[in-house]
Amino acid sequence: MMKIQVIATTKLILSLSFSLAALNWSVQAAEIQGNAEQGAKNTRLCAGCHAIPGYRSSVPEIYTVPLIGGQSPGYIVAALQAYKKGERKHPTMRSVAGSLSDQDMADLAAYYAAQNSQTKANKLK
């Protein structure tokens, strides 16, 4: 009888802490909302390489620089996090991403995701 109670209590505590962890995670995720206007202010960090009007990239001869305008924000954030963590290896992207906070990444992702062929700000995409 005691044993069953202990197990039941342990299960309850475990499920409580799991749901708290899930709650905490969703609160954090909800806090980080990308703001494209903020992101636009940080594009100077990216403009030298990624295609942005007025700044023709000077490095495609050396690197293949992917176009990031119009990609989904989730993909852009995931890529930046992967560079920051070192899961993606490109050295310059690693140092650029390493200087960005989660909020910076979300903002930049919101900005770039909003670019398309009709966007004045990104004629190349």
Q: Give residues in contact with ligand HEC (CB under 6 A).
A: 42, 45-46, 48-50, 59, 63, 65-66, 68, 76, 79-80, 88, 90, 92-93, 96, 108
Distance CA 34, CA 21 (A): 23
Nearest distance from C-beta of residue 71 to ligand HEC, angstroms: 6
Pick the closer one to ligand HEC by CB: 19 or 99. Answer: 99
Nearest distance from C-beta of residue 57 to ligand HEC, angstroms: 8
Pick the closer one to ligand HEC by CB: 18 or 75. Answer: 75
Nearest distance from C-beta of residue 62 to ligand HEC, angstroms: 8
Nearest distance from C-beta of residue 3 to ligand HEC, angstroms: 53
10 Å CB burial of residue 113 (0-12, 13-18, 19+) is buried
Apex 20 CA angle, 28 and 81, nearest 5: 35
Distance CA 106, CA 80 (A): 10
Q: Which residue type is seen at 65?
A: V
